[in-house]
Amino acid sequence: MIGLLDYGAGNLRSISQAFTYLGFKTRLISSPDEIKRISRLVIPGVGSFGPAIIQLRKRNLKPLIDEWISSSHPLLGICLGLQLLTEGSEESPEEKGLAVFEGKCKKLTAKKVPQIGWNRVQLIKEDQIFQGLPEPVFFYFVHSYSLMNISSSTIAITEYGQAFSSVLRQANIYACQFHPEKSGEAGLLFLKNWVEKC
Amino acid sequence: MLTARIIPCLDIDEGQVVKGVRFRNLIPVGDPVSLARYYYLSGADEIIFLDIGASVKSRKVMLEIVEKISSQIFIPLTVGGGIRDLEDIRNLLLAGADKVSLCTAALQHPGLIKEAADRFGSQCIVLSIDAARVGSGWEAFSYGGSTPTGVDAVKWAKEAEKLGAGEILLNSIDRDGTQTGYDLELLRAVSEAVNIPVIASGGGGTLEHIYQALMEGQADAVLLASGLHFGRLTIQQVKDFLRQKGVSIR
């Protein structure tokens, strides 16, 4: 069972439908006791960094994620979910992130922000989550901030104005800046690999 | 680098895909769910549905279609046509739309763009502008291109960006369904005026037209309807052509 963290940051329908289409069961996780029933956790989300962190605290979900991470259960952060796993964001400097990944998110520097559309994801490390994807591979992005740090956890990068980390991995924790649930067949394969191989 | 997006547009009237010329003479071209699924598998980068019936019945059928489509198509879905208020937007997003496109309601009450962007995020608010050449400029029309508003289309695009629109869907009324090419001057005027993506619509008939819209028109995406529905063009053909011309394409 895959838990989708429900902390009020956007619509969880598309991600849940993508997993359902792939034949995996999901449930929404909105309180700490529900987490016992799941084996994988997804932190989805669109919206702003600050309000998201505040919601996590309000709903008492922050300790739950911290514990999930320290017991190294499988986790996938998507879009804002990736940003929450960094040390923080320029978008809301007063709030701290979950600090799994090094660095803070910064505003994109390209002419048109937010980045809306399909962009190339260049794999810089081999990983089972990429297995079977075509080359070059494109995913669908919608975001104004991203993690410009390219650290030892970065497994793929994307160029938009400048390069940023588009997929990261630290042990059992994965994160992607794009929306796999909106990235067609490549996105579905990425999600399937995460469930079956990661 | 972002790729240019190829976006099939399905005009829907009471559950059927239809297509007209200059916004008139509608003829049915098929079932929305199977057509959308076909375009998805052929490489469409996004799909736009416009409810042109916009009656109560048509609206209800539209929600059902969006629900069905979003469970089997995993690319962004934009829905427009007859959206009046925040409640309409919320219902469509909950049914599975990723973005909504506003036209007449935003012209009547520009504050709706800001309210919608504040509540749901700019990324899901597309402003659709139906523009026709009037004198030396272009005027925005409401009610499916039927009613002049006196609003300058380029100024309207800039204002919408300020209010929080995430993208502009720019339809040329003069070119709609004519297959004579996009209105490149209109496209360029709007693309140069705003820093949000512009989707070219109205008039695309040949591969060269599409290339021109992206290059000379500086559009970020092109919307295709008649050319695809009537089988004169396929998405694969469009993408192969653009790739050969050196355009970045998924």
User: B32-67, pLDDT tens digit by residue?
Assistant: 999 999 999 999 999 999 998 767 777 888 999 999
Among candidates A114, A118, A184 on the partner chain, residue whose Cβ is nearest the Cβ of B166: A114
Q: Whole-angstrom Cα distance, residue B2 to residue A194? A: 25
Q: Whole-angstrom Cα distance, residue A145 to residue A165? A: 11
Among candidates A10, A115, A140 on the partner chain, residue whose Cβ is nearest the Cβ of B76: A140
Inform me whether the C-beta atom of residue B3 falls under 8 Å from chain A C-beta atoms. yes
Cβ neighbors of A146 (< 8 A, separation 6 or more) are A83, A105, A106, A108, A160, A164, A165, A166, A177
User: A96-146, pLDDT tens digit by residue?
Assistant: 999 999 999 999 999 888 899 999 999 999 999 999 999 999 999 999 999
CB distance A117–B197 less than 8 Å? yes
CA distance to partner chain B, nearest, from residue A14 (Å): 7
Is residue A56 within 8 A of residue A7, CB to CB? The reply is yes
Where are the domains positioned within chain A?
A: 2-197
Based on the residue annotation, tell me whether A73 is a catalytic residue of this protein: no
Inform me whether the C-beta atom of residue A47 falls under 8 Å from chain B C-beta atoms. yes
Positions of chain A with pLDDT lower than 50, given as ranges? none
Q: Give me the domains of chain B, ranges plus CATH numbers.
A: 5-244 (3.20.20.70)
- State the sign of the Cα–Cα–Cα–Cα dihedral A74, A90, A155, A24: positive
Q: Whole-angstrom Cα distance, residue B127 to residue B105? A: 10
Pick from B89, B109, B108, B91: which is nearest to B100 by CA? B89
Task: Report residue B206 CA to chain centroid gap.
Answer: 18
Helix (H, G, I), strand (E, B) or coil at B120: helix
Inform me whether the C-beta atom of residue A24 falls under 8 Å from chain B C-beta atoms. no
Inform me whether the C-beta atom of residue A18 falls under 8 Å from chain B C-beta atoms. yes
Kindly state the DSSP code that residue B24 receives in the 8-state scheme.
Answer: E
Identify the residue whose tokens are 């690999």: A193
CB distance A160–B166 less than 8 Å? no
φ/ψ of residue B112, rounded to 5: -60, -35
Q: Which chain A residue has its CA at the smallest distance from B167's CA?
A: A116
DSSP per-residue string spanning A22-89? TT--EEEE-SGGGGGG-SEEEE---S-HHHHHHHHHHTT-HHHHHHHHHTT--EEEETHHHHHTSSEE
Catalytic residue among B130, B176, B183, B220: B130
φ/ψ of residue B135, rounded to 5: 65, -130
- Domain at A2-197, CATH homologous superfamily: Class I glutamine amidotransferase (GATase) domain (3.40.50.880)
Per-residue pLDDT of chain B (250 residues; tens, 9 = 90+): 899 999 999 988 888 888 755 555 566 677 899 999 999 999 999 999 999 876 777 788 899 999 999 999 999 999 999 899 999 999 999 899 999 999 999 999 999 999 999 888 888 999 999 999 999 999 999 998 889 999 999 999 999 999 999 999 999 999 987 889 999 999 999 999 999 999 999 998 899 999 999 999 999 999 998 788 878 889 999 999 999 999 999 9
